[in-house]
Structure 1
Amino acid sequence: MTFAWYSHLKNLNDKPWWIAALFSWGIALFEYLLQVPANRIGNTELDLGQLKILQEVITLAVFVPFVVFYMDQPLKLDYLWAALCILGAVYFVFRT
């Protein structure tokens, strides 16, 4: 979803918003075709809170390299703090 949500800011910046929306929706549809079955399969082993935290971990793991390498933004210390907060969330959600 990171690419669908943010890539148009770099690739389609000179296009009308509705073209960017169609472009992003096309990418998002493909990603949803993968995400929905993955959640249904994952729900057989994990509860809903665990699935959500896992999604956030994956999102941050994808977002930081995307921002730094694709969008050419500087790496910020705030990303480390965000990762530590999510690590804490992982601990609390997955502890037994």
Structure 2
Amino acid sequence: MNKAELVAAMAEKTGMKKNDAEKALKAFVDVVTDELVKGEKIQLVGFGTFEVSERPEREGRNPRTGETMKIAASKAPKFKAGKALKDMINA
């Protein structure tokens, strides 16, 4: 499902206009992004948790030359599904 299909499905399910559903989706994405940038965690009970995972600096290897190199520390967004979502998928 792409963004347009998601917006259409949200509009149909809620009875909103597609334009309003798109605004709601954009607002959700913006809020989640802003909170993750601040290092906060967003927990939607029954659905899941969005959080930032910190990856430490590590040593890697260049596959072409075999030479070792340092891979810088970084942060990555992470989603962990909640129990209710897992149960619905596995039912």
Please tell me whether Structure 1 or Structure 2 has the larger radius of gyration of its CA atoms.
2
Higher relative contact order structure (alpha carbons within 8 Å, sequence separation ≥ 6):
1
Same fold flag (TM > 0.5): no
TM-score, length basis structure 1: 0.37
Greater share of helix = 1
TM-score, length basis structure 2: 0.39
Greater share of strand = 2
